[in-house]
Structure 1
Amino acid sequence: MYASAEERAAGIAKGQALAADELRSWFTASADRLASGLDGLTDDQWQHKVVTAQGRTVPATELPWVRAREACVHAIDLGTGTTFHDLPDGFLTALVDEIRDKRGLVDLPDGPLPEVAARLTGRPHSLADAPELGPWL
């Protein structure tokens, strides 16, 4: 995670300017650093509290999910042809459940799980008559 909102904005701006092979290398290096850091955590450290970019305080045990969520959703945002239909159902179910809970939604739209996930994350979807939603993170 980024140390500040400014660092996050700078990272996003940097990523947008990179060629595909540079972006892939940057992502791979960051994934390797994260894996190395997580592999070194003790059982006690996994319970330490961390603050997310959204200001939520969560145990370190949530960090793998935070990374997976960010990497998968933003992989779709890159517009390279990856869609929510390419993501595993278990991931999509967890994503939809998280967004439903954070938004306090009682009812979810009818439709295929990938399209529901796309809609709830504010990405293009094929669901008819789905009202616009605000940011979810």
Structure 2
Amino acid sequence: MTNAVRTVADARAWARTGTRLVLDAVADLDEAGFSADNVLPAWTRKHLAAHVAANAEALCNLVHWAATGEQTPMYASADERAAGIARGPALSADELRSWLTASARRLAEGLDALTDEQWQHRVVTARGRTVPATELPWMRAREVCVHAVDFGTGTAFADLPDGFLTALVDEIRDRRGLADLPDGPLPEVAAWLSGRPHPLADAPELGPWL
């Protein structure tokens, strides 16, 4: 696998796909379903839904930064991020679905409004990386696409766009500093790299990513 060119248009399309998959994943969940475990350890689906919704709101802060020049970090502190996730269990299924939908719409509208110049403005991520606003759609695409699988309601890595999976594999491989990858279908390699369940035989265990 070689590094592929990833465009803003690509990332925005993948973010839309991932958002649809997330909303589909929770569309029919009742209170018991939302309170059940998901693929990620120690979280219920309510925690995961809150995390995805809060992520959209945090990225809206970076959109505001790019649009106005006012420094608005994703999260004021690690405690604020944790508090957003902790809100999940206190909300009803309908409240979580509404939060997921509204936050995703607000982010999409904010990105739509950026001018060519504003897309080039630099912002700082929660991990402290300084990036142009053109990275924001990719950051959202990763969240919604991977977490759509994490809900454990039927979406699999094989349901994600091939271009997204290639970009994801390229990024995680580089960040993990891996020279070689196990043989296998692209979705299975992506699942392995991201520390999710996979059927690859003899692949070394990796910790969770994202």
What TM-score, normalized to structure 1? 0.89
Alpha carbons 2:196, 2:208 under 8 Å: kept: no
Please give the root-mean-square deviation of Cα atoms over the aligned residues, in Å: 1.7
* CA–CA distance in structure 1, aligned partners of residues 91 and 197 of structure 2: 24
* Structure 1 pair 90–105 and aligned structure 2 pair: CA distance change class (3 A): same
Q: Secondary structure of the residue that 1:126 maps to in structure 2?
A: coil
Unaligned ranges ≥5, structure 1: none
Deviations 1:10-43 (A, max 9, x none): 2222235544443332111111111111122122
* Structure 1 pair 86–22 and aligned structure 2 pair: CA distance change class (3 A): farther
Alpha carbons 2:123, 2:133 under 8 Å: kept: yes
Give the aligned partner of residue 40 of structure 1.
Answer: 113
1:113 partner letter: L
Greater relative contact order (Cα 8 A, min sep 6): structure 1 or 2?
Answer: 2
1:115 to 158, 178, 188: 188
* Structure 1 pair 91–31 and aligned structure 2 pair: CA distance change class (3 A): same
Unaligned ranges ≥5, structure 2: 1-57, 59-73
What TM-score, normalized to structure 2? 0.60
Percent of matched pairs sharing the same residue: 82
Q: Secondary structure of the residue that 1:130 maps to in structure 2?
A: coil
Residue 74 (str. 1) matches residue 147 (str. 2): yes
Alpha carbons 1:95, 1:117 under 8 Å: kept: yes
Deviations 1:46-78 (A, max 9, x none): 111122222221110010110011011111111
Alpha carbons 1:51, 1:57 under 8 Å: kept: yes
Give the aligned partner of residue 124 of structure 1.
Answer: 197
Alpha carbons 2:188, 2:200 under 8 Å: kept: yes
Aligned length: 137
1:106 partner letter: A
